[in-house]
Structure 1
Amino acid sequence: MAKSNGSGVKKAYLILYNAVSAIAWATILGRVVVVFWWKSPFFVPLVVDNFARITQTCAVIEILHALTGVVPAPVFTTLMQVASRLFLMWAVCWPFPQNNTSVFYSSMLLAWSLTEVIRYSYFALKQVDEVPGSLHWLRYSAFLVLYPIGISSEVAMTLQALFYGPASSLTPWYPYALVMVLLSYIPGSVILYSHMLKQRRKYLGAGKTAEKKTQ
């Protein structure tokens, strides 16, 4: 009975966590799209910057989820994904807000928010075995387009901080730190993209369907 109760609490927690996260990222997505369309990229950070930073920072808890086994996610790839985004939010966008008015900031948040709305919605519905086939397909296919957009936007934002920040205005070593992070994108992006391709083959290959329980 205790094990059953614990399982129920865990399921309720994961439903709540993923649902709230999906709503938060949907809010970011809506703000970016509306302001970008009706105004310009210049106004996007005015309506989304702080909220996006807080929302992304809260994702640190997902590292704990992976470490403690709350979700069956690989710790290393989870750490890489969360750390890279925290780097963008706190080490690139926050110190150099003047760069956030560029189109790359908007495209970065667009890719992130679309990815997360799909991902969190998928995992929330998975807890009650109600994942639509279309959402299942998007979960393991949307990254084919969104990941390159996100990565290229992240690199562009970092380059802007490096050359137009200027990064050296903070500390003499800051530009070197940014260069090191940029170099880490070469193996890092390959690892993460390869991981998602592997997941796609596993869960969409050989006639897999949304009704089958997936990771």
Structure 2
Amino acid sequence: MSGDGVLHPLVYWAQTDKNVSLKVDISDVTNHKIVVTDENLQFEAQGVGPAGLHSYKFSLDFYGAVDEEKSTYRVLDRNVEISLAKAAKSDFWPRVTYKKEKAAWLRLDFDKLELEDSEGEQEQVQKVDHRAKIKELEKQIIDAQDKAYTDMKTAYLFVYNLLQFIMYTYVSILLFTWFILYGKDDMNAAFERAFYPLGIAQILAVLEIVHPLTGLVKTGVAAPIMQVLGRDLVLFLIIVPIEELHSEPIVCYLFLIWSAIEVVRYPYYIFATLDYDSEVVTWLRYTMWMPLYPLGILSEGIVAHLAIPYAQERGIFSMSLPNSFNFAFRFDYYLYVHLALLVLLGPFMLTHMWKLRQKRFGPKRKVKAH
């Protein structure tokens, strides 16, 4: 990207005595617009370049005149090739641009660059060796940048998944032990101890929507939006404001179910980050959801149903007319909508998880012999 905010692709150029060749390093090109005149080239296209899938553009004012009619271009899968026919065929260009400017995105194409016939054999060997060293250096720099990015991404995802695993494991052990030792007694105390680590973990879980949107992980975004935002809404807009729910055992049951789901999910992500495949962890990841997800959906529905009379009585998050916004909203009505959404979207989530399990553990298709 240049200082003017325009995304430039990498452009490699070389020349012969008859033409100048340009190789625009963009793949999967669409919506391209290439205009060649005798003095200028205007290029604009959408494709995959140095910054990923974006629109790229550049403009070149040529060092010498070109023959507009004889100049051609080809859009290939991996790049765009442009051939500019020189107006004066024997004219040698010391550079491709009219101005003496050093653009970081404009580079020599060493694969096509021809040596001048007047140069001695020893000088040719030295130039070829010099070009090879430059290309190798460029490759090393690119490889080092890619490795640094991969290492940073791996470290970040490992730390994130490990922290989430620790917090959900703490909540699981805490509530499981509490129900064994105290049963349903003093649920307020159990809620207070479990809420803070669970609340922090659920806030951090919003990053799981950001990760696929930014390309940090190669997964879909629909499932995390449904799960993360759905849980956060139940936790922070239904359970937290209505203190009477804090003493309800179903709330701590719901916390335990949520945490049990994540205790088997995050180790799977940790191993995936480290490129390690554990059969036991993978089986738990794609199996434990079968009892836990339906129980979680049922528990969320019970909590939302218990909250309705309190929302009606207190008008929590509700707005009535007249007001400056000329808008009315009843949160207790939304809770009925929330129950309907659980009924409608719950099967979608279960179907999604079942497809993932079938993809991993389903019967293998046999290849027919011809």
The answer to whether the superposition gives a TM-score over 0.5 is: yes
Match of 1:33 among 176, 197, 205: 176
What's 2:67 paired with? none
Q: C-alpha distance in 2, partners of 1:77/1:140?
A: 15
TM-score using structure 2 length: 0.53
Q: Which runs of 5+ in 2 are unaligned?
A: 1-142, 320-329, 365-370
Instruction: Deviation per CA, 1:114-154: give whole Å up to 9, x if none.
Output: 11111111110122233321111010010100001111110
Alignment of 1:133-148 (within 5 A): 133-148=279-294
Alignment of 1:75-86 (within 5 A): 75-86=221-232
Shift of 1:109: 1.2
Q: C-alpha distance in 1, partners of 2:196/2:273?
A: 30
What's 1:179 paired with? 336
Shift of 1:167: 4.0
Contact 2:168/2:197 (<8 A) preserved? no
Shift of 1:12: 1.2
Contact 1:155/1:182 (<8 A) preserved? yes
What's 1:23 paired with? 166
What's 2:72 paired with? none
Q: C-alpha distance in 2, partners of 1:140/1:148?
A: 14
Q: C-alpha distance in 1, partners of 2:264/2:155?
A: 19
Match of 1:193 among 329, 350, 355: 350
Alignment of 1:1-215 (within 5 A): 1=143, 2-41=145-184, 42=187, 43-163=189-309, 165-169=310-314, 170=316, 171=318, 173-206=330-363
Q: Structure with the greater relative contact order (CA < 8 A, sep ≥ 6): 1 or 2?
A: 1
Contact 1:168/1:175 (<8 A) preserved? no
Q: C-alpha distance in 1, partners of 2:268/2:247?
A: 31
Instruction: Deviation per CA, 1:12-57: give whole Å up to 9, x if none.
Output: 1111111111011101111111222212341320211222122211
Contact 2:162/2:270 (<8 A) preserved? yes
Q: C-alpha distance in 2, partners of 1:19/1:197?
A: 26
CA RMSD of superposed structures (Å): 1.5
Aligned residue type for 2:167: A
What's 1:210 paired with? none
Q: C-alpha distance in 2, partners of 1:11/1:197?
A: 28
Aligned residue type for 2:343: I
Of Structure 1 and Structure 2, which has the larger fraction of its residues in helix? 1
Q: Percent identity?
A: 27
Contact 2:311/2:331 (<8 A) preserved? no
Instruction: Deviation per CA, 1:53-99: give whole Å up to 9, x if none.
Output: 22211111111002111112211121111110011111111111221
Of Structure 1 and Structure 2, which has the larger fraction of its residues in strand? 2
Instruction: Deviation per CA, 1:140-171: give whole Å up to 9, x if none.
Output: 010100001111110000000013x2444123
Which range is displaced more, 54-63 or 142-151? 54-63
Contact 1:36/1:106 (<8 A) preserved? no
Residues matched between the structures, number: 206
Name which one, 1 or 2, has greater alpha-carbon Rg: 2
Q: What secondary structure, in the 3-state scheme, does the structure 2 residue paired with 1:131 have? A: coil
